[in-house]
Structure 1
Amino acid sequence: MSGSTLEGVITFRAASPADPDAHELIVEYFAERASGFPGEYRPVLPGPDAFRAPDGVLLLIEHTDDDDATADRGLIGCGAIRRIADGPMGARFEVKHVYTRPAARGLGAGRLLMDELERQARAWGARELVLDTHHTLEAAAALYARTGFAPIEPYNDNPNATRWYGKTLD
């Protein structure tokens, strides 16, 4: 993609983790994480029913640009939410597998994805969003801060996480 913003149309498509496109993106995400992870990275591939409505959704980000047939387009990322045990505010959803391909980074796709995941969680009655990440993912931490997440106490025992974030939904 050229330029500093996404030009064209961004759409979101719900998919099962077993969908070939979703599987490809999740495997890419895990491979990238493993390559820069200090120590042993222990990913767990989500099962085919891991993100099923109304308790979750896995979204694929697709980019189309009708004006330029040569522009990079197609699948540019993914992200998911899933309902977990209620928190102090009530219904709690966890953000998972937020990933944009390198060519799409810095163009706003991650922000659009986070907004869409939050919109869907709200539609299902979420009162809180949480996520875990690793301190080496500074760009991800910046995205989470820009979308209203703040540090919280750990809510799980993910061995790959060193930071936990939350966001109360009004």
Structure 2
Amino acid sequence: MEPVRNTEPVSTDQVTAFRRFNRYFTRRIGVLDDHYLGQDRPLGEARLLFEVGDGASLRELRSRLGLDAGYLSRMAKALEAQGMVTLSTHPQDSRLRVIGLTPAGRVEVEEQNRRAHTAAAGLLEGLSDPQRTALTEAMATAQRLLRLAGITVALVDGAAPDARACLDAYAADIDERFPEGFDKNDLVRPEEVSGDAGAFFVAHEEGSPVGCGALRRTEPGVGEIRHVWVAPAARRLGLARRLLAALEQEAAARHLTVVRLDTHAALTEAQAMYRACGYTEIPAYDDHVYASHWFEKRLAH
């Protein structure tokens, strides 16, 4: 399962600017200090304490923080030895190790939050209110783009568990949005979007499927795009456009010259996206029960 890569190369100037910002930001917030926020522990342990919250499994934390299993285990054991956390076996799954805060751990996290708030306020005090607004908006944009960059889009078999899970979530989503509801029998079948017949893409964020899109060949040189969907938690990142671009790229690789799609009248945001991505509205090319708008795009080769 190879992730789809952007065809536009990353410039040296872009890489240099990204690294320069990383170096400045990590130094400015004290990441390099073994006594993060003036407490007697480095950032890694402090962040782990913060993420434990009301309790979590080590597997969940490993996925959320992107940590090596051995490194996470060593940090957890060190914090346990210091009386900050407890480690136990999950009551319903003996394979899972669960970590929770002790009373001393909760006290330290509360102090960590107080110091972090004070440090952030101290940084912002040097700016005017319009400058603070500009900075917080810029950080929101950076976070959105970094989330999008961290999401992988990969070609999978149409029968893969994550493919079917996405389609189930898609069906439930639009069943609520369509006034007439939605019949799951309208979903593409695995054989329509696998192998020579078509393609299915799934987007993953931190190991969880958060979006999908399907392509099927309808006639020589023509493909149809179906079920472009993004989970609510991953919307407004630009992921739908990324999925659409992956489908178009795959269609071109299969020597299709035209891609078509239809959409429901209720999906106004989808219609706007397709128009913005170069799709032209055309007369109906099928009698799809849920379709009220039909679009087409000619692909460059």
Q: Is TM-score (shorter-chain normalized) higher than 0.5?
A: yes
Question: Which residue is 1:84 aligned to?
Answer: 218
Question: Which residue is 1:28 aligned to?
Answer: 169
Residue 153 of structure 2, aligned match among 12, 24, 28: 12
Residue 47 of structure 1, aligned match among 189, 195, 198: 189
Aligned residue identity for 1:159? V
Q: How much has 1:103 moved relative to structure 2?
A: 1.2
Q: 1:101 to 1:6 in 2, by over 3 A?
A: farther
Question: Which residue is 2:15 aligned to?
Answer: none
Unaligned runs of 5+ in 1: 65-72
Q: How much has 1:14 moved relative to structure 2?
A: 2.0
TM-score, scaled to structure 2: 0.49
Residue 255 of structure 2, aligned match among 109, 112, 125: 125
TM-score, scaled to structure 1: 0.84
Unaligned runs of 5+ in 2: 1-138
Q: Are the counterparts in 2 of residues 42 and 159 from structure 1 also a CA contact under 8 Å?
A: no
Q: How much has 1:33 moved relative to structure 2?
A: 0.7
Instruction: For 1:53 and 1:20, locate their aligned partners in 2 and report how far apart those are by CA, in whole Å.
Output: 17
Instruction: For 2:218 and 2:197, locate their aligned partners in 1 and report how far apart those are by CA, in whole Å.
Output: 8
Aligned residue identity for 1:50? E
Instruction: For 2:281 and 2:187, locate their aligned partners in 1 and report how far apart those are by CA, in whole Å.
Output: 26
Residue 209 of structure 2, aligned match among 54, 68, 75: 75
Cα deviation code 1:128-159 (max 9, x no counterpart): 01001101101111211121111011111110
Cα deviation code 1:61-99 (max 9, x no counterpart): 1234xxxxxxxx63210001110024xxxx010001100
Cα deviation code 1:48-71 (max 9, x no counterpart): 21212333100001234xxxxxxx
Aligned residue identity for 2:180? G
Cα deviation code 1:97-129 (max 9, x no counterpart): 100001111111111111111011001111101
Q: Secondary structure at the match of 1:115?
A: helix
Instruction: For 2:218 and 2:253, locate their aligned partners in 1 and report how far apart those are by CA, in whole Å.
Output: 16
Q: Secondary structure at the match of 2:225?
A: strand
Q: How much has 1:19 moved relative to structure 2?
A: 1.6
Question: Which residue is 2:241 aligned to?
Answer: 111
Q: Secondary structure at the match of 1:148?
A: coil
Q: Which has the higher contact order (CA 8 A, sep 6+)?
A: 1
Q: How many residues align?
A: 157
Q: Secondary structure at the match of 1:120?
A: helix
Give the number of the structure whose residues are more often strand, by fraction: 1
Aligned residue identity for 2:293? R
Instruction: For 1:18 and 1:116, locate their aligned partners in 2 and report how far apart those are by CA, in whole Å.
Output: 19
Give the number of the structure whose residues are more often helix, by fraction: 2
Q: Secondary structure at the match of 1:32?
A: helix
Q: Secondary structure at the match of 2:213?
A: strand
Question: Which residue is 1:69 aligned to?
Answer: none
Bigger CA drift: 140-149 or 123-132?
A: 140-149
Q: 1:103 to 1:6 in 2, by over 3 A?
A: farther
Question: 2:296 matched to 1:166?
Answer: yes
Give the structure with higher Rg (CA). Answer: 2
Bigger CA drift: 104-113 or 53-62?
A: 53-62
Q: Secondary structure at the match of 2:251?
A: helix
Question: 2:179 matched to 1:38?
Answer: yes
Cα deviation code 1:17-42 (max 9, x no counterpart): 32221111101101111111112433
Instruction: For 2:197 and 2:159, locate their aligned partners in 1 and report how far apart those are by CA, in whole Å.
Output: 17
| Identity, % of aligned positions | 32
Q: Are the counterparts in 1 of residues 204 and 211 from structure 2 also a CA contact under 8 Å?
A: yes
Instruction: For 1:108 and 1:84, locate their aligned partners in 2 and report how far apart those are by CA, in whole Å.
Output: 28
